[in-house]
Amino acid sequence: MRRKLAAGNWKMNGVHANLDEVAAMNDAAASADCDVLLCVPATLINAIDDAAPNIIAGAQDCHQNTSGAHTGEISADQICDAGAEYVILGHSERRADNGETNKCVREKTNAAWAAGLKAIVCVGETLDQRKSSNTLDIIGGQMAASIPDMATGENLVVAYEPIWAIGTGLTPTTDEIGEVHDFIRIRLEKRFGEGVGRSVRIVYGGSMNPKNVAEISAVSNVDGGLVGGASLKATDFNTIIKALG
């Protein structure tokens, strides 16, 4: 039985003054029967433990190298040292803004695992790719090339995030979400064996909000959400936590 995951991605939002929102999420997390995770800017990772002991802290990226001359970058060991348990890798915004390739995401995932972090590897299609019926090919290709061989149910979460649904208020239909999540599950089982393949959590991201969370999380093989905008305010995120847990 996979435990659901309510994960927030704060992106480049939040300063210490916003930690009162996190404290307000802590109570919902305490009584929830799901894992609650906030992937915050690196400057806030350390503060999550103090503000909200029931919420797991996560980061939004790490470098593929362990240390060295990479000005402005942050290593997996460093985010781990700050208190992160998870790291988001290969988010479409980083693939677009920073030119991250599948190979780069794979290297970063290996670096995260070497540091003892759990990786949330993101995959997703553009609107053009969906319209031209290429969604499953794209997702399959991203999974094959971005996810390293040593995946387990403990160290990997796959996030399906259709690029056209991120921050737009648009979402795929529940049938479309189910089709992709079932496909990801089959690919995981084929590559890593049934035991591992069945234990990896597959979360949905892209305009998930308090209104649509119940419907989306009821879809087969949806094991939770990776939530952007609606994870910034406790009023919204607490509703999502309660719906998942």
The least CB distance from residue 159 to ligand 13P, in Å, is 7
Q: Which residue out of 91, 93, 100, 181 is catalytically annotated? A: 91
The least CB distance from residue 67 to ligand 13P, in Å, is 27
Query: Closest residue (Cβ) to ligand 13P?
Result: 228
CA distances from 69 to 42, 78, 108 (A): 19, 15, 16
Looking at the Cβ atoms of 183 and 237, the one nearer to ligand 13P is 237
Distance CA 13, CA 9 (A): 9
Residues 38/22, Cβ–Cβ less than 8 Å: yes
Looking at the Cβ atoms of 207 and 217, the one nearer to ligand 13P is 207
Return the structure tokens found at 160: 């399906």
Q: Which stretches of the chain bind ligand 13P, using CB under 6 A?
A: 9, 91, 161, 166-167, 205-208, 226-230
Looking at the Cβ atoms of 53 and 167, the one nearer to ligand 13P is 167
Residues 76/114, Cβ–Cβ less than 8 Å: yes
The least CB distance from residue 120 to ligand 13P, in Å, is 9
Looking at the Cβ atoms of 77 and 161, the one nearer to ligand 13P is 161
Looking at the Cβ atoms of 51 and 122, the one nearer to ligand 13P is 122
Residues 164/138, Cβ–Cβ less than 8 Å: no
The least CB distance from residue 194 to ligand 13P, in Å, is 28
Q: Which residue out of 93, 100, 161, 181 is catalytically annotated? A: 161
Q: State yes or no: is 70 an active-site residue.
A: no
Helix axes 42-51, 19-30, angle to 10 degrees: 50
The least CB distance from residue 92 to ligand 13P, in Å, is 7
Secondary structure (H, E, C), 93-156: HHHHHCCCCHHHHHHHHHHHHHCCCEEEEEECCCHHHHHCCCHHHHHHHHHHHHCCCCCCCCCE
Q: State yes or no: is 16 an active-site residue.
A: no
CA-angle at 63, arms to 168 and 115, nearest 5°: 110
Residues involved in catalysis: 91, 161
